[in-house]
Structure 1
Amino acid sequence: RLEPGGLTFTLADGAFGLGGARTPLDAPLRGRITVEGKDLEGLVAVAMGPEPRLGGGLKATFSLAGTAGRPVLTGEVALANVTVTETNPQCPEPRRRTLALPSVTLAAGWEDGRFTGRPLMASVAGGTVTATVIAQVDRRITVQLGDLAIRALPLERVLVDFLCHAQAVSGPLDLTGTAAFTAGDIPRTLSGAGQVKIGAGRIVGVQALRMLDAIASVAGAVGTLLGPGTPVSSSALAEFDSITGTYQARDGVLTSRDLVFNGRAVKATIAGQYNLASGALSFDVVAAVAGRNVRARVTGTAAAPSVSVVPASLLSPGDAGRIEKGLQDLLKRMR
């Protein structure tokens, strides 16, 4: 029994064959290992520090083979009632937030410093995550996720309730792709590619809503210049039927060239980059606003974005003359 964490290790049918081995490290191993723990929080805190806190129960069974110098483990791992708890200064009170993962299972293996999980399956906030996992343990832990598939993951539960992300959206997430990163430094090392779809939802992050206010102001100004019409509010702009596209990631920089925002009041295509570590962003946006395609560029950071509109995109070929005539009529009335 190992404390803290209450882990219990049981070895059954074990054998350590020294006969015929040149050295003890060459001696063959055989056996079955069972590992059980009701709550991993204390043990994880010793290994990883006080936060994030990881709790939950563990049950694993492994077959032991190989040699004393190169042991090989294969078996099944099941985690139940997993919780991830973290204190986030970006969140309103309570700043300590918890994400629940009711179950995590994987067929696991260990050989030559490499951990494999084929596949990993997890339930998260009513959605599911599956992937093949390869983790190389050296001076650093590098992780590769293959055949990554996320299905019906409610983003609001993760981005809003847990992470309090300033650019958060709600809606169910479907994602397929690959990912690779160094444990402990995901924002600077994440690489991979994939396809993403977010179902009907809303833009709910504080910074994202401020950006929508700026876009709504532009749309209102265009409508005022070009004649009466239905005003576009930031609340209407926030609602969408879907967000779809593909992405690539390299060293923590996400790039998409074909992101499509199918909003209920506006449809937009988006191309650009976002840096996970610094929050820096650079996007070109073409949005159908007030009956015309408005081109804009979004720069700055996720915390302080800046929206600049390409002036020429506000006018169709006949609009300049209409605006000029309207201004002349206004001047005549002022004489």
Structure 2
Amino acid sequence: MTDIMRAVVQRGYGRPDDVLELTEIERPVPGAGEVLVRLHATSVNTPDWILVTGTPTVLRLGSGLRRPSAPVRGSDVAGTVAAVGPGVTDLAPGDAVFGSGWQNRAGGGAGTFAEYTVAPADQLLRKPAELPFAEAAAAVMSGITALTAVRDVIAAGPGTRLLINGASGGVGTFAVQLAARAGARVTAVCSGRNAEFVRALGAEHVIDHTVEDYTRGTERYDAILDNVLNHSPAASARMLAPAGVYVPNSVGSGSRLLAGLPRMARAATLLRLTGTRVRTVTCVPNRENLAAVAEQLGTGEVTAIVERSYPLDEAASAVSHMLGHRARGNIVITM
């Protein structure tokens, strides 16, 4: 192997076509407890487009004022082990793996819009042979977030009345399937063009957000998973049944400086002022959660929905696709 690889590097903040550039950089070297992975696929997630655009602007205080300190976006890993660092004994070169470099990315790691990346060994799992690399990549952040929300935060079970706002997106498509499989009565909020799509995933009812405002309806729900945050938290919380739980899972939209952060803050305030049960979702990409996602996919009853795959040299187009906020399922980048 050479010491050089192709990677998509971010030169500043702005439109993906303006700030993302395919170039050659040094291949990363795995440290203690890390694995070097030759990537076959990764996916585009909300943190990626947030960092590309630098919106909300206030978040640049933590990532870099003029450009991100870590220049390569992406965290979801699906590929083949190329080398292992000191202390890694349960993975070996040639193993097909999937997982995440997310914690490593927080420390300025290699990113996954590239031919190679490094990731903590404890955030990688051997990929089931029947699971394609593209679907494995799509199942990491979106799948774990949805699984954590449905299984742990909401504890969906038979008869749970669950409304999922943004049901046709990456997290939403996983959440609809997981909740329906658990026996929940799922109401999906999406555009009319995706109504039959989410019904096929298991939604019992569909609300077309282009013609109907779910916060003005008469139904009440045991839980609301809000992947869009396009209504005030108070308006959404009014749709809850007694002891219902509201789960905000989006930065929402708003001013360039703060975007939807004020709504997130108001969601937290609901807990203190009204007693509404407000819970957040944290994506923890450990082996236990990766194995749980793989098990769900292995049944064939849950599928990683990939709307489109882009080659590495079209990564800017993949991020632009996500920025349109109309992606049906997940957007994948292949190498």
Quick check: which one's strand share is greater? Answer: 1
Q: TM-score range by the shorter chain?
A: under 0.3
TM-score (norm 1): 0.25
Higher relative contact order, structure no. (Cα contacts within 8 Å, ≥ 6 residues apart): 2
More helix by proportion, 1 or 2? 2
- Which protein has the larger Cα radius of gyration, Structure 1 or Structure 2? 1
